[in-house]
Structure 1
């Protein structure tokens, strides 16, 4: 059946250490003179840090964000000011070539690409590659609603057609952006007195977004940019001919791969090291963060495989699963998040992997990254007041007409059970399928047959 990321997210801890950190740098191949003029281009180089955002780490019970979603970029810009840079003769270039330019997975639906769940993947990820859109009614009926966008309001062209209507008329809001378009169209109506709506919308090209945002931060600090704003990608086709475009060496930590570089090593002007990988595993598993799971798959390929690509990461995953004794005929994967409809896996394979993980030295630490029934993450609002509350650690999975739950259940008799429950192609409301799964889990905890 189609599967979520619950299966593959048991893998990275066994391949990349929990203390792994990624480094983001500002670099130049040029030089700075005594007048503060930088000759040459200025590169903002990403190496797979998924948390260049306002997310507060470590995750504790729920997602928390600060009011400073781009603080890391602001700090990097401040470092350039401290170094006395006043002019940049070249371009501002956002470099995400640490991974191949594969923004989306095979089998993703077009509907996903507008929203945070389907945000494009990049080695240079700012604010989860989304913009926060807030919509509030105007002061009088007939006026356009108020639309605000953060953290970078100039990224999209906004076509706002949402009209404020009299109180009590109900709210209807629609948002659309065609693939490849930089125009965000909003239409519908919002009544007076409405508390407002908030949405997280995906950016088109994360590196392009980062380049424009970083340039604006430099200019706000008085640094004059004479060149253009552009991006640097590694095209997937170039990897098949063993030609790599990245200038920067790997600073992510752990095992790295040497790549061809220019004859002169770039000068690092500012840098930021990520939080440890263990913190992000909690985010991925607790709240089902698709983008971070995709970044992690490419990181596996980059650090432990042949390249920072989907295929490179999946090759590492397959090797690990073979080592764990999982038959290759029981799964097929096309991405890292489980968003692809073409992913398939059997419950037997999931349980076998859970059992394997439980026997590893890192097994207990891994299980602590899973949502706890009735307590936190994607299970915070499930199992309240039931015998399963606090006794089940499990990863949720959800697509249209697909629900799953896999993990560990501690029974009232003291046993720990690895379980995996899939519901596929159901034609009832999703909540009914979810409730059926929950009843089965409750029966496992109580060591009793499930109620029908």
Structure 2
């Protein structure tokens, strides 16, 4: 059906399409209301149309879907078009984890002694720290606690030590009485194949904590905190502090000076792929706040082994060998599209694989001897991790959940098998097979695509599941906590929006639930593509659209 310029479709009542004239509206909007409330329908459509015509966002690509809790359509705009979901991908990953892994699932990290056990507390063999995909071997306090309004935040450095669980396991090893290890300390992350980065992760992200490599042996979110503090005079060198302090891991190349007062920070941090040299340069203003950054750990399993070796030596356990990682590398696999189920059937295909270090005769000899468990640590329950993953949008944790899904419900803990398990879960939830493509679990991949209607379908499907209340509670709450703490901070929406945020390059998303003026809760998904760089205008309009949805329903 053709329409004249300056008109917009605002209601579908029975078989009749009703047009309303607007000023300068050039987009197609179709709205369906189950009870024929044409006034409210027109109001919502016209309000959104007006918002999207604002000059700061008029060239952005918008997709919106709004439905009732029973799935009844309320409003749609480009809801069948594909958008980059950014961190809205975590909705799909965590929902699948809750449904298929279970809220109470835990994972156990172990320290194993492998080799020949001699008198006098001697081990002729290796000490192996075996990762099992625990995302919270860190100083994070669990369960997640929302900030108290008006209360000053406690400084991070007075909380639990980042490596506290490694320290506890080192204490357990020392308590066994072993005094000498004539072998290596090995960080073993072979539970999952060594696929540290998903397809189309941006290389620039690999430096930072939010783009940290993924490992079955993850430690402190696979990141270290770097604090650059100005000196006492202009031109003086700035100080650099690493936390956790482990000088033997990264080599620092520092050239940071103290700039003029109120000059801010121009500090830059760089690390070449595969390198352990961290270059820090620039300036930080006199008397200014320190520049604090989270930097990714190059090889988490190796880092964990290095840390554990140092802890054991500090406790009087002599180690003759070195700290190193043991990875499982996939070789000659088929394409991701086939392996993940996008095309064909890969269920009976077994990819070749090898373990690194290759031809590790010493490890094999140790493994052929006796094995004893010297220390263990049990993770928090999966639900607690899902809460963290969604509240603060933790990329690494979403990626670990994806691999756990592949390991538990697929053939292996690969990215592709995890994506396959999620895909089958979503198809079972009634989502169209062409409405989503996931290449990772966090949304960092630029290949990820999803439609707004697929997202509201997931949210509606979840509402009827036994795990829904727990999962919904993991979403950020407007004006209260997580990534929505600073949005929807005033009545009537404060505490009435439960939604997942997302931001990746020039894409932005917000999807979840809103309690409306009538007391009715509705489901929404708002996605934006190709907004102008360095702007938040689309985010502001997005929030005003949520307010319009709440007011109209």
TM > 0.5 between the two?
A: yes
> Is the 1:372–1:392 contact (alpha carbons within 8 Å) kept by the matching residues of 2?
yes
Is the 8 Å Cα contact of residues 140 and 160 (structure 2) preserved in structure 1?
no
In structure 2, runs of 5+ residues without a counterpart are 1-82, 148-152, 334-349, 357-365
Number of residues of Structure 1 aligned to a counterpart in Structure 2: 434
Please tell me whether the aligned partners of residues 517 and 552 of structure 2 are also in contact (alpha carbons under 8 angstroms). yes
| Residues 78-130 of structure 1, C-alpha deviations (whole Å, 9 max, x = no match) | 11111011110111110000111000010110111101110000000110000
Matches within 5 A, 1:423-442: 423-427=528-532, 429-442=534-547
Deviations 1:155-175 (A, max 9, x none): 110011001234344431111
Match of 1:85 in 2: 178
Map of 1:203 onto structure 2: 297
Query: What is the deviation of 1:265?
Result: 6.8
Matched-pair contact (CA < 8 Å) for 1:6–1:396: no
What does 1:331-346 correspond to in 2, within 5 Å? Answer: 331-346=436-451
Which of 214, 221, 238 is the equivalent residue of 1:121? 214
Do the aligned partners of residues 429 and 228 (structure 1) sit closer, same or farther apart at CA in structure 2, a change above 3 Å counting?
closer
Taking the aligned partners of 1:217 and 1:362, their CA distance within structure 2 comes to 40
TM-score (norm 2): 0.76
Q: Which residue of 1 aligns with 2:224?
A: 131
Q: TM-score, normalised by structure 1?
A: 0.92
Task: Answer whether contact 1:386 1:442 (CA < 8 A) is retained.
Answer: no
Task: Report whether the alignment pairs 1:61 with 2:146.
Answer: yes
Aligned to 2:58: none
Q: Residue in 1 aligned with 2:505? A: 400
What secondary structure is seen at the aligned counterpart in 1 of 2:234?
coil
Q: State the shift of 1:148 in Å.
A: 0.5
Q: What is the alpha-carbon root mean square deviation over aligned residues?
A: 1.9
Deviates more, 1:126-135 or 1:22-31: 22-31
* C-alpha deviation, 1:143, in angstroms: 2.3
CA distance in 1, matches of 2:197, 2:432: 27
1:229 alignment partner, one of 323, 331, 340: 323
Name the CA shift for 1:20/1:360 in 2 (closer, same or farther; >3 Å): same
1:181 to 272, 275, 284: 275
Instruction: Answer yes or no: is the 8 Å Cα contact 2:200–2:446 preserved in 1.
Output: yes
Counterparts of 1:7-406 in structure 2, within 5 Å, are 7-8=91-92, 9-62=94-147, 66-154=159-247, 155-237=249-331, 240-241=350-351, 245=355, 266-406=371-511
Q: Is the 8 A contact 1:32 1:85 kept in 2?
A: no
Q: Residue 20 of structure 1: CA displacement?
A: 0.5
Structure 2 counterpart SS, 1:49:
coil
Q: Deviations over 1:127-169 (max 9, x none)?
A: 0000110111122332211001011331110011001234344
Higher mean C-alpha displacement, 138-147 vs 179-188: 138-147
- What is the deviation of 1:288? 0.4
User: Where does residue 27 of structure 2 map in the other structure?
Assistant: none
Alpha-carbon distance between aligned partners in 2 of 1:413 and 1:170, rounded to the nearest angstrom:
48
Which whole-Å CA distance do the structure 1 matches of 2:102 and 2:262 have between them?
Answer: 55
Between stretches 361-370 and 63-72, larger displacement belongs to: 63-72
Q: Secondary structure at the match of 1:98?
A: coil
CA distance in 2, matches of 1:364, 1:190: 46
**Matches of 1:243 and 1:188 in 2, distance apart?**
44
Alpha-carbon distance change, 74 to 361 in structure 1, aligned in 2, over 3 angstroms? same
